[in-house]
């Protein structure tokens, strides 16, 4: 049976590809500078064989320190940056929130989890979608609110990029911290999430998709 590829496996593959690409750039820079591997190694406090392996991308766990030292010797600067490439892995708290929301659904509502946006190559996904009779809404889950307005903007971008969807239920864990954040920001979020939790849950218990987006604390 084929082995399932995890996110960690994909990360390791990307690391190997990045190391190989950086190694080639370092080799090109060394040759352009007219330096030998031994000279670069001495200046960077590495052996010649280590420089050779770094250039070939053969160091399984090349460190940022090693690559940065070699780059500095060659008049280069190693730059690292993170780029969004999909949704982060769901944690147990978020999955528990979705499970609690699922218990509030009455027939004919059904919940589907991890529903990708309908854009080829886009790795973003809704935490879940709730489908009824010809109606649907998305679900996002937050265990610990940080920047509520940034969260609202992120959700709004996903709504913009999902033409078949116009409503989102934001499910938030019931905690003193989250209650304080919502007390401070609830009215600022009213445009994006007009419905309060009691109204959203009332519709779900009647087997109806809510008529607008809303925030539920569970």
pLDDT digits (tens, 9 = 90+) for 24-33: 898 899 988 8
Q: What is the mean pLDDT of the chain?
A: 88
Work out the percent of the chain whose per-residue pLDDT is above 90.
51
CATH 3.40.1350 domain range(s) in the chain: 92-217
The residues of the chain that CATH labels 1.10.260.40 are: 7-73
- 8 Å CB contact between 141 and 114: no
- Give pLDDT tens digits along the chain (218 positions): 455 666 677 677 777 778 888 888 988 999 888 889 999 999 999 899 989 988 888 766 678 888 889 899 899 888 877 665 555 555 788 889 999 999 999 999 999 998 999 888 888 889 999 999 889 999 999 999 988 889 999 999 999 999 889 999 999 999 999 999 999 999 999 999 999 999 999 999 999 999 999 999 99
State the pLDDT at residue 92: 80
Q: How far apart are the two ends of the chain, measured CA to CA in Å?
A: 40
Q: How many CB atoms lie within 10 A of CB 139?
A: 23
Q: What pLDDT is attached to residue 9? A: 72
pLDDT at 88: 54
Three-state SS letters, the chain: CCCCCCHHHHHHHHHHHHHHHHHHHHHHHHHHHCCCHHHHHHHCCCCHHHHHHHHCCCCCCCCHHHHHHHHHHCCCCCCCCCCCCCCCCCCHHHHHHHHHHHCCCCCCCEEEEEEECCCCCCCCEEEEEEECCCCEEEEEEECCCCCHHHHHHHHHHHHHCCCCCCCEEEEECCCHHHHHHHHHHCHHHCCCCCECHHHHHHHHHCCCCCCCCEEEEC
pLDDT (0 to 100) of residue 66: 87
> Full-prediction pTM beyond 0.85?
no
Q: What is the pLDDT of residue 186?
A: 92
In CATH terms, 7-73 corresponds, of 1.10.10.10, 1.10.260.40, 1.20.120.1200, 3.60.20.30, to 1.10.260.40
Domain 92-217 class? Answer: alpha beta
């Amino acid at each position: 049976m084929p082995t399932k590829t995890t996110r960690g496996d994909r990360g390791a593959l990307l690391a190997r590809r990045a190391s190989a690409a950086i190694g080639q750039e370092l080799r090109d820079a060394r040759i352009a500078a007219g330096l030998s591997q031994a000279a670069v190694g001495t200046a960077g406090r590495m052996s010649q064989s280590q420089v050779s392996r770094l250039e070939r991308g053969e160091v399984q766990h090349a460190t940022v320190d090693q690559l940065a030292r070699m780059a500095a010797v060659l008049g280069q600067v190693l730059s690292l940056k993170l780029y969004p490439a999909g949704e982060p892995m769901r944690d147990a708290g978020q999955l528990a929130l979705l499970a609690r929301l699922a218990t509030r659904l009455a027939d004919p509502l059904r919940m589907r989890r991890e529903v990708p946006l309908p854009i080829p190559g886009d790795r973003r996904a809704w935490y879940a979608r709730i489908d009824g009779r010809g109606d649907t809404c998305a679900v996002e889950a937050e265990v610990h609110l940080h920047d509520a307005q940034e969260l609202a903007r992120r959700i709004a971008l996903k709504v913009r990029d999902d033409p078949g969807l116009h409503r989102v239920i934001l499910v938030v864990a019931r905690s003193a911290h989250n209650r304080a954040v919502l007390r401070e920001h609830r009215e600022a979020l009213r445009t994006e999430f007009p419905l309060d939790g009691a109204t959203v849950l009332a519709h779900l218990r009647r087997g109806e998709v809510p008529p607008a987006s809303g925030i539920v604390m569970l």
